[in-house]
A and B are shown apart, each in its own frame.
Chain A
Amino acid sequence: MSVASNALPRWMDLGLLPALNLAIALAVCGVVVKIVGHDPAQVLALLVKGAFGSRAGISYTLYYATTFVFTGLAVAVAFHGGLFNIGGEGQAMMGGLGTALVALSLADHLPAAIVLPLMVLAAMLFGMLWAAVPAALQAYRGSHVVITTIMFNFIASALLSYLLVNVLKEPGNMTVESRRFADSARLPGVHDALAWLGVEWPRTPLNLSVLLAVAASVAVWALLWHSRPGYSMRAVGFAPEAALYAGIRPKRQVMLAMALSGALAGLVGVNEIAGVHQRLLLDFVVGAGFAGIAVSLIGRSHPVGIVLAAVLFGALYQGGAELAFEIPGFSRDMVFTLQGLIVLFSGAMAQVLAPALQRLHHALRPAAATQGAAHG
């Protein structure tokens, strides 16, 4: 599964095409908004205001974006390895489980300085393992990773449900969730950190995992384009025969790509469980995995694009929540619809526009176009 198309010049391929696809998705969404009787311009204005118009709004936007960065990076890393990881939902669930297990067993006895890093590691490990099984089945048994990861999403949900209901549930409590973690398992919020620095900031779910998200983005960038495993992964993803020629073992790369992908998705658990809820719940993931697909497609599988797209989606989620307050009858499902439309136009129909753009390019810059065609 290749990421870049060879026919268009790079700036068109990475900049113009996705922008156009995004614009079309927004336009179609605008039509839907109109159909349900609202004014698209008003909706858009309120959305932007809700997402960026206040410190609290920005914080919420970034909090959502953090989760999307993790799942977006997960999808992107797998894409570069030539695989489609739809199992982000399940891997995120398992990441949260890992975080919670460490918190529940250790937080009462150990200080935050030890517990928190262990929780992060557990999140990554559990996510990694949940992706490693479908990866192994693909590499060694030829089972298609798309189907197995979808199945594993459901199995994860069942497993989580079982553990929460039968093992981890707080006795005497009706809600399906674990007991609250001890304080040392709490990842400080950004408002806490800023208060410590003397800056006053509204209390929001935005927590220090946003720094983790930034670190992960940098790490993925470094891995993919500056490390040997990343080189091998991309070679296999673009040209499996060339990779074979180079002595790269495809099975190993499949395992590596999916393991990293799962680990990244697992970090969602850190943001949601350690950073916000401080207890394990059933539905802390809710669509983050699928949003990650949209983020990765719009972000062209590059960490910079993913961060920008994640902030965009975070803004949509936060703005959408605000809209639900402001406009009666409006719900966040409009954001889900837009998300789906983005996947449709940037993913499935991404290349529908490409021939038209190519003709435009030829018409406007005939000299450059023929020069490009002469080589290769």
Chain B
Amino acid sequence: MTARVAVCMQGIQKSFGAVHANRAVNLTVAAGTVHGIVGENGAGKSTLMSILYGFYEADAGSIEIDGKPANIRNSRHAIALGIGMVHQHFMLVDTLSALDNILLGAEPDWRLGRARARVRPLLDTLMHDTGLHVRLDLPVEELPVGERQRLEILKALFRGARVLILDEPTAVLTPTEAAQLFRTLRTLRAQGTTVLLITHKLREIMALCDAVTVMRAGAVVLDCAIADTSLDGLALAMVGRRVQLGRSTQARTEAPPGAPLLVASGLAWHDALGVARLADVSLTLHAGEIVGIAGVSGNGQGELLEVLSGMRAPQQGELALADRRYSPRAWLDPASARALGLAHVPEDRHKRGLVLPFPAWESSVLGYEHLPRYSHGGWMDAGAMRSDCAAMMNTYDVRPRDPLTRSSHFSGGNQQKLVLAREARPEPKVLLVGQPTRGVDIGAIEFIHGRLRAMRDAGGALLVVSSELDEILALADRVLVMNGGRIVGELAIADCSEAALGRLMGGADSVTGSMTGSVKIEAAA
């Protein structure tokens, strides 16, 4: 008996300018199954689901829902076709009750009192049937995260969703809440709902899904039933064959690196909703090494950089930098960090690295405007700043070579080079780098990588966070993998294999290892 096909996407093409987000993607989802969609950042899974939900229109390709062709123009249309989506960032109004949030846009009566009365019994039945319990009369701001997510699912089901798309649902849940979610999804599957689970957590896929599609760089690289694959198979497919694996000729082959310049221990930070973004993170940066942080974006890397650079104080943890110690009550701040020889190339160069309306010479002193060479008693020496900027632009080949050009007028690569030039200029002992070559052209990538290696060779300690695994493998001497706000693994570059990295990034394993010792792998409990 052939299963009914709930969703069939054929030959989907989608480009955003130069970025080819979906390349001839085919996706077939059987009705009443849980289908996993796996991939790293930029693999194209979010774009594909956005097309299915009507946020974008594909450049080419076709979609069939329940065997009938569908031209999904907007999300209203998708909802009408029975497709519901639960986003990573909940679409809820905090001050309204859960019931009102469900009602909005689907009110059966223009009088709220009657609308609520008509809807309540329907919801009670739905909650009973699916096991999704939500306190309908409380304002959303009083509900914990797990309950808010159940509310989002309920909202979608109430609108008649037969296909439910969940985007990284366990990112904000505790393990208990995640288990509860899985029970719910199994119940929904039993009732004939089709579930599309977007995730990069491999164990979830293996535990819950019936079939899985793995995407990489915009294309589908694996598409099969769960029974026909394994965790390793998924890990390998997600990460792919890497050319420069473990054989990075640029890595240090000499003796272990020098003194510890930055020691962080037990860093923990949770956001306003109580979701732990950093949990028990400890790391040490030694002189003369590049430590790479690999992992799918959103697993705490951004928060880690903010904490280490002083932009954010953690709730727990300690930091030792130069000869100072910091604890949460009196944490490091960016100005002191710079004074102690720590520099930071932020992940978001547009919002943080530069002030876009400033001319290049003003952006080139951001964070350093207080230095004696630039300001004497409150007066800024524009001449010194401009000449330093010109020198930086020369060394780093930033074009156009004019310090007076507005920061927003440079291309991505040139902007990044400018930021790096600025941070590298004071010859920092520790350099934190976030996404060094995101949106940067090939020529600039090589240049930037070369500069980073040069800084390491000169004795600096570098921490590079990147969602591009290739970049980590090309630069790092030591690779740490983050998942769920924790460091789940540490591998010397020589020990990095696609399978090992894939498993760590997919949250499958927790690894402890050392540069010289053997690597011990233990599957996560």
User: Are A and B in contact, CB atoms below 8 Å, in the complex?
Assistant: yes
CA distance A231 to B335 in the complex (A): 15
- Which residues of B351-386 have CB atoms within 8 Å of chain A's CB atoms? 351-358, 362, 366-367, 369-370, 375, 378-380, 382
Judge if B94 is at the interface, Cβ distance under 8 Å: no
A1-23 CB contact bits vs B (8 Å, 1 = yes)?
01110100010000000000000
Quick check: A245 and B378 within 8 Å, CB to CB?
A: no
Q: Which of A3, A226, A241, A374 contacts B379 (CB 8 A)?
A: A226
Quick check: A228 and B335 within 8 Å, CB to CB?
A: no
CA distance A235 to B363 in the complex (A): 9
Judge if A376 is at the interface, Cβ distance under 8 Å: yes
Judge if B346 is at the interface, Cβ distance under 8 Å: yes
Q: Which of B351, B375, B378 contacts A242 (CB 8 A)?
A: B351
CA distance A228 to B385 in the complex (A): 12
Question: Interface on chain B toward A: helix, strand, loop, or mixed SS?
Answer: mixed
Stretch from B62-70, B84-92, B166-174, B403-411 that touches the partner = B403-411
Judge if B344 is at the interface, Cβ distance under 8 Å: yes
Quick check: B408 and A376 within 8 Å, CB to CB?
A: yes
- Which residues of B308-338 have CB atoms within 8 Å of chain A's CB atoms? 309-311, 333-338
CB neighbours (8 Å) of A244 from chain B are: 311, 334, 352
Quick check: A227 and B351 within 8 Å, CB to CB?
A: no
Name B346's closest neighbour in chain A (CB-CB).
A245
Name B309's closest neighbour in chain A (CB-CB).
A245
Judge if B47 is at the interface, Cβ distance under 8 Å: no
A-B contacts at CB below 8 angstroms, number: 89
Name B374's closest neighbour in chain A (CB-CB).
A228
Judge if A355 is at the interface, Cβ distance under 8 Å: no
Judge if B22 is at the interface, Cβ distance under 8 Å: no
CA distance A226 to B385 in the complex (A): 11
A218-240 CB contact bits vs B (8 Å, 1 = yes)?
00000000111101101100110
Judge if A199 is at the interface, Cβ distance under 8 Å: no
Name B405's closest neighbour in chain A (CB-CB).
A375
Name A3's closest neighbour in chain B (CB-CB).
B357
Quick check: A6 and B408 within 8 Å, CB to CB?
A: yes
Quick check: A231 and B362 within 8 Å, CB to CB?
A: yes
Judge if A247 is at the interface, Cβ distance under 8 Å: yes
In the complex where A228-B380, A239-B355 touch, is A245 in contact with B367 (Cβ < 8 A)?
yes
CA distance A6 to B359 in the complex (A): 12
Judge if A366 is at the interface, Cβ distance under 8 Å: no
Judge if B415 is at the interface, Cβ distance under 8 Å: yes
In the complex where A228-B369, A228-B370, A246-B366 touch, is A6 in contact with B357 (Cβ < 8 A)?
yes
Name B349's closest neighbour in chain A (CB-CB).
A242
Closest Cβ of chain B to A101, distance in Å, is 30
Quick check: B380 and A226 within 8 Å, CB to CB?
A: yes
In the complex where A245-B334, A245-B344, A247-B335 touch, is A235 in contact with B355 (Cβ < 8 A)?
yes
CA distance A247 to B409 in the complex (A): 25
Interface size on B (CB < 8 Å)?
39
CB neighbours (8 Å) of A229 from chain B are: 378
Judge if A372 is at the interface, Cβ distance under 8 Å: yes
Closest Cβ of chain B to A193, distance in Å, is 31
In the complex where A2-B357, A239-B356 touch, is A375 in contact with B409 (Cβ < 8 A)?
yes
Question: Interface on chain A toward B: helix, strand, loop, or mixed SS?
Answer: helix
Closest Cβ of chain A to B307, distance in Å, is 13
Quick check: A227 and B380 within 8 Å, CB to CB?
A: yes
CB neighbours (8 Å) of B382 from chain A are: 226
CB neighbours (8 Å) of A4 from chain B are: 357
CA distance A375 to B415 in the complex (A): 10
CB neighbours (8 Å) of B410 from chain A are: 375-376
CB neighbours (8 Å) of A231 from chain B are: 362, 369, 380
Closest Cβ of chain A to B110, distance in Å, is 34
CA distance A283 to B382 in the complex (A): 44
Which of A10, A231, A372 has most chain B Cβ within 10 Å? A231
Q: Which of A3, A10, A238, A374 contacts B355 (CB 8 A)?
A: A238
Quick check: A239 and B351 within 8 Å, CB to CB?
A: yes
CA distance A238 to B406 in the complex (A): 13
CA distance A6 to B379 in the complex (A): 28
CA distance A234 to B338 in the complex (A): 21
Q: Which of B352, B362, B409 contacts A245 (CB 8 A)?
A: B352
Which of A3, A10, A375 has most chain B Cβ within 10 Å? A375
CA distance A243 to B379 in the complex (A): 19
CB neighbours (8 Å) of A235 from chain B are: 355, 358, 366
In the complex where A227-B378, A241-B352, A376-B415 touch, is A246 in contact with B367 (Cβ < 8 A)?
yes
Quick check: B355 and A242 within 8 Å, CB to CB?
A: yes
Name B385's closest neighbour in chain A (CB-CB).
A231
CB neighbours (8 Å) of A238 from chain B are: 355-358
In the complex where A2-B357, A228-B369, A375-B411 touch, is A247 in contact with B338 (Cβ < 8 A)?
yes
CB neighbours (8 Å) of B310 from chain A are: 247
Quick check: B411 and A228 within 8 Å, CB to CB?
A: no
CA distance A246 to B375 in the complex (A): 16
- Which residues of A355-376 have CB atoms within 8 Å of chain B's CB atoms? 372, 374-376
Which of B333, B351, B412 has most chain A Cβ within 10 Å? B351
Name B352's closest neighbour in chain A (CB-CB).
A245
Closest Cβ of chain A to B376, distance in Å, is 10
In the complex where A6-B357, A229-B378, A246-B334 touch, is A241 in contact with B351 (Cβ < 8 A)?
yes
Quick check: A242 and B380 within 8 Å, CB to CB?
A: no
CA distance A4 to B355 in the complex (A): 12
Closest Cβ of chain A to B210, distance in Å, is 43
Quick check: B409 and A376 within 8 Å, CB to CB?
A: yes
CA distance A258 to B311 in the complex (A): 25
CA distance A239 to B346 in the complex (A): 14
CB neighbours (8 Å) of B406 from chain A are: 6, 10
Quick check: B351 and A374 within 8 Å, CB to CB?
A: no
CA distance A249 to B337 in the complex (A): 15
A245-279 CB contact bits vs B (8 Å, 1 = yes)?
11100000000000000000000000000000000
CB neighbours (8 Å) of B380 from chain A are: 226-228, 231
Which of A10, A239, A241, A244 has most chain B Cβ within 10 Å? A239
Closest Cβ of chain B to A91, distance in Å, is 24
CA distance A191 to B358 in the complex (A): 43
Quick check: B311 and A228 within 8 Å, CB to CB?
A: no
Closest Cβ of chain A to B345, distance in Å, is 10
Closest Cβ of chain B to A357, distance in Å, is 18
CA distance A238 to B357 in the complex (A): 7
Closest Cβ of chain A to B107, distance in Å, is 33
CA distance A247 to B346 in the complex (A): 13
CB neighbours (8 Å) of B356 from chain A are: 6, 238-239, 376
Closest Cβ of chain A to B25, distance in Å, is 29
Q: Which of A10, A226, A243, A374 contacts B411 (CB 8 A)?
A: A374
Closest Cβ of chain B to A46, distance in Å, is 41
CB neighbours (8 Å) of A3 from chain B are: 357
CB neighbours (8 Å) of B336 from chain A are: 247
Closest Cβ of chain B to A185, distance in Å, is 32
Quick check: A242 and B352 within 8 Å, CB to CB?
A: yes
CA distance A376 to B409 in the complex (A): 5
| CB pairs A–B below 8 angstroms (13 shown) | A227-B379, A234-B355, A234-B358, A235-B355, A238-B355, A241-B352, A245-B353, A247-B337, A247-B338, A375-B409, A375-B410, A376-B410, A376-B415
Chain A residues near B (Cβ < 8 Å)? 2-4, 6, 10, 226-229, 231-232, 234-235, 238-239, 241-247, 372, 374-376
Q: A226-B380, A246-B367 are in contact. List 17 more A-B contacts (CB 8 A).
A: A4-B357, A226-B382, A228-B380, A231-B369, A234-B358, A238-B358, A241-B351, A242-B353, A242-B366, A245-B352, A245-B353, A246-B366, A247-B333, A247-B336, A247-B337, A375-B409, A376-B407
Chain B residues near A (Cβ < 8 Å)? 309-311, 333-338, 344, 346, 348, 351-358, 362, 366-367, 369-370, 375, 378-380, 382, 406-412, 414-415
